[in-house]
Structure 1
Amino acid sequence: MKKLIAVILSLSLAVMSLAGCGAESAESSAEATKENPMVLTLAHGLSETHTVHIAMLEFAEKVEERTEGRIQVKIYPNGQLGSETEAMEQLMAGVVAMTKVSAPGLATYNEAYHSFGLPYIFDDTKDFYRIMDSSQMRDFFLSTGEDGFVTLTYYTSGARSFYTVDKPIRTPEDLKGLKIRVQDMKSQTDMIKAMGGTPVAMSYGDVYTSLQTGIIDGTENNETALTTGKHGEICKVYSTDQHAMIPDVMVMSAKVWNGIAPEDQKIILEAAYESTDSHKIAWDSAIQAAVEEAKTQMGVTFVDDIDKEAFREATSGMISEYSSTYPKVAELLDIIDSVE
C-alpha cells in the first residue's frame, strides 16, 4: 500500500512538472518571481525530528529568504514519496528535484561513491570534517552533472562501530563465527567478510527483532541506534572501533541545477554548507545524549581499547581491490589523500 501511494504521489508530481518543481513553478530561477517561484521538491525518508531533516529545514528557509521567495524548497519527509532508492530514481527521472541518500547509494550512478562505504578512509571525526569540507571535495560533489545529479552538501551520520549482546569486539578475531547485520551495500558485506565475520544484509527495521531472536549476533551503527532504535535494550556491549564514517548527502537533479542562475546557485550552496555546520552541532549533542542514555538507563558498556590497526590491516585489501575494480574510486581516494 505504501509503495502504491508513493507511485500515485510520484505520478501526480510528474504531471505537475518533469523538472521536479510545483504546478505553478517557474522552470528556471531566471524567470522566477516571488509571485511565481521556482519550487524545488525535496523527498527523503527521515522523520521530522531527525537532525538531518531539521538541517534541511534550515537550508530551505535560508534559500527562500535569500532569494526573496523566488526559490522555494518543499520538503516531503517520512518516505512520503517512497524509499531512499525510489526517491533517487524519481530524481533521475525528473519527478523530484532533490533528495537525501546515504552516499554509497549513489554508486549506481557514479562508481566513485563506493569510496564512502570503505573502511577507515578517514582517520577520525576531525579528519572526516577536514576532508568533507575541503574545496577538493566540494568540487567533486559538483562534478557529476553528466551522471544526472550534483551533490550540494553532506551531513554526518557519525562513526559506525560494532555492538553485540554481550561480546566485546576488540580485534577482527572477535568477529569470527558471529553473524553481523550490515546495510545492503557491497562494501559493507565485503568489509565484514574481510574482518572474519558473517555479514547479514537486512533493513534497519528488522534489526531489533533479529537481535532479539538470535538471527543475528550483533550489528554496526552509530551510538544513536542504541537509543532511537532501542537496540541497547538487547545489545549491552558497544565497541568503538569506528570502522566507517558514511555520510548522508543532499543531491539535486543536474537538469534542475542547470536551470538555476549562477548567482542563485551560489546562494543555494552557501545555505547548504551552513546547514551542514548547524547539523554538526546538533549531531554532537545527539551522540552525547545517546551515550549517556545508553550507559545510565540501558546498561550498555562502551569498550574503547580497540586495536584499530588490526582492523585496518584486515581490510586493507578492500581498498586495493575497489581501486582496481572501480577506477573512479581510485580517483576519489587520491582527492581525499590530497587534502592538506
Structure 2
Amino acid sequence: MKKRNRNKTILLSIFLCITLLLTACGGSSGDNGGQAASDEPMVLRLATDHPVDHMATRSANAIAEEVEEKTNGRIKINIYPASQLGGYDTVYEEIVRGTIDMAHITIPDSLDSRLGAAYTPYLTTGYEEAKVVYAPGSFLSEKFVEYNEALGVKFLGFYLEGYIGMSAKKEPRDLLVPGANKGLQMRVWAAPAAREPMADLGYTPVTVPYAEAPTAIQTGVVDGWIGGTPNVNYHWVGEIIDYFWRTYMHAESTAYVMNQKLFDSLSAEDQQIILDAFERQSKESFELAEAEDEHWMEQLEELGVTVVKLSDDEVQMLADFVRTTTWPKLESVYTSELLDGLKAQYE
C-alpha cells in the first residue's frame, strides 16, 4: 500500500511539472503581449517564376505586405521567386495537391487544354483591350475560375507582364502580307496557339525549348523566335538579335492561383482580404506592363537592335486574319464554346 501511494505521489509530481512547463512555454496575455502557440500566424508559401528584380516580384511583395497588415499579422506570405520551388508545371501540380499554397505562374494546359486560352493569338491587340479581356469578372476570368476550381485551384486573377514580341537576326519578306512566305524559321513553344498562327502568317515554325532558344538562334537552327516580352528579349537574346517587332500577337498574361481547400478554410474576412490584395496587383499590372515594355524596347535599341512598332491599323489587319484563319483550328483545343465567347467581345 505504501509503495502504491509512493507511486501516485511520483506520478502527481510529474504531472505538475509537465503542467508548469506547458504553461511557461505558452506565454501569457499580460502586459508584454505574449502570443500563445495557437495564435502563431499562418505562413503561406507563394512560388513565382520571376527574378527578384522583376515587376511581378515587386507586386508579390506588395501583396504580402497588404495581407499581413490587413489581417493584423494572422497571415504571412513568404515569396519564393526565380522558380525556387520548381517550374510552373511542377508548381501548378503542387498547388492542386496543396503542397504549395499559392503561386504566380503561367498556368499549364496539361490538366485542361482550355487553360492555354490566355495565350490565344490576337486575343487582344493592345493594352486597352487587355484591361477588358483579362479584367476580374470578364468572360475569360470567369471561365478560368470555373476551369481551375474543377482541379481544386482558386483562380485569383490574371497579371499582364507585357506583350510577347517577335525577334530575329534578319528581316522577314512581306511582313504585312499574311500567308506570304516570310523566308524565316522561327522558334515557337510547343502549343497550337503558337505554332498555328505563325504557319498561317507565312513563317516556318520550329518547336525549340525555351532554354535552348539563344543557342538555336546563334547556331542558325532558327532565324529568330517568339516567346518573350521586350524585357525577356533584352536579357535573354538581346546580344544576338538584330530586329524586334512589337506585333501584339500574344499577351504575356500569367496568373495568381491558390489551393482551393486552403482558401475555403479561411474566414470570410480573410478570404476577402486575399482576394482584394491580388485583384489590386492584377489591375495595376495592366498599367505597369505598357511602361515596362516601352522601357525595355528602349534598352534594346541602345544595344543596337532595330525595334519595329506596328501601327494600330497594321496590328488590326493581322489580328483579323488570325482570328478568321487560325482560331477555327484551335476549337479542338479550346472548345467552340470558349472561342465563341471570346469572339463575342469583338462583335
What is the distance in 1 between the residues matched to 2:73 and 2:271?
15
CA distance in 2, matches of 1:71, 1:336: 40
- Equivalents in 2 of 1:171, 1:33: separation in Å? 68
Change (3 A) 1:187 1:307: closer
Q: 1:302 aligns with which of 270, 285, 308?
A: 308
Q: CA deviation at 1:95?
A: 0.9
Amino acid at match of 2:94: Q
Match of 1:320 among 319, 328, 341: 328
- Please say if 1:50 is aligned against 2:57: no
Residue 197 (structure 1) shift: 2.1
1:64-83 matched pairs, under 5 angstroms: 64-83=68-87
Could you tell me whether the CA contact under 8 Å between 2:178 and 2:202 is conserved in 1?
yes
Among residues 283, 295, 313, which one is paired with 1:277 in the alignment?
283
* Matches for 1:1-340 after TM superposition, within 5 Å: 35-103=39-107, 105=108, 107-137=109-139, 138-143=141-146, 144-168=148-172, 169-173=175-179, 176-220=182-226, 221-229=228-236, 231-304=237-310, 306=314, 308-310=316-318, 312-314=320-322, 316-327=324-335, 330-331=337-338, 333-334=340-341, 337=344
Q: List structure 1 segments (4+ residues) > 6 angstroms apart after TM superposition.
A: none
Q: Distance in 2 between matches of 1:45 and 1:134?
A: 22
After the TM superposition, which of the residue ranges 172-181 and 50-59 deviates more from structure 2?
172-181
Amino acid at match of 1:309: M
**Partner of residue 29, structure 1:** none
TM-score (norm 1): 0.80
Question: How far apart, in 1, do the equivalents of 2:325 and 2:179 lie?
Answer: 17
Please state how far the C-alpha of 1:165 moved relative to its aligned partner.
1.0
Work out the percentage of aligned pairs sharing the same amino acid: 23
Query: Which consecutive unaligned segments of at least 5 residues does structure 1 have?
Result: 1-31
Normalising by structure 2, report the TM-score: 0.78
Structure with max Cα Rg:
2
Q: Cα 1:243–1:284, aligned 2, differ >3 Å: closer, same or farther?
A: closer
Q: 1:162–1:239: 8 Å Cα contact kept in structure 2?
A: yes
Helix, strand or coil for the counterpart of 2:194? helix
Mapped partners of 2:222, 2:272: distance in 1: 47
Q: How many residue pairs end up in the alignment?
A: 305
Q: Following the alignment from structure 2 to structure 1, what is the Cα–Cα distance between the partners of residues 114 and 69? A: 34
Aligned partner of residue 196 in structure 2, secondary structure: helix
| 8 Å CA contact retained: 2:104, 2:255 | yes
> How large is the Cα RMSD of the aligned pairs?
2.7
CA gap of 1:325–1:224, structure 2 versus 1, over 3 A, is closer
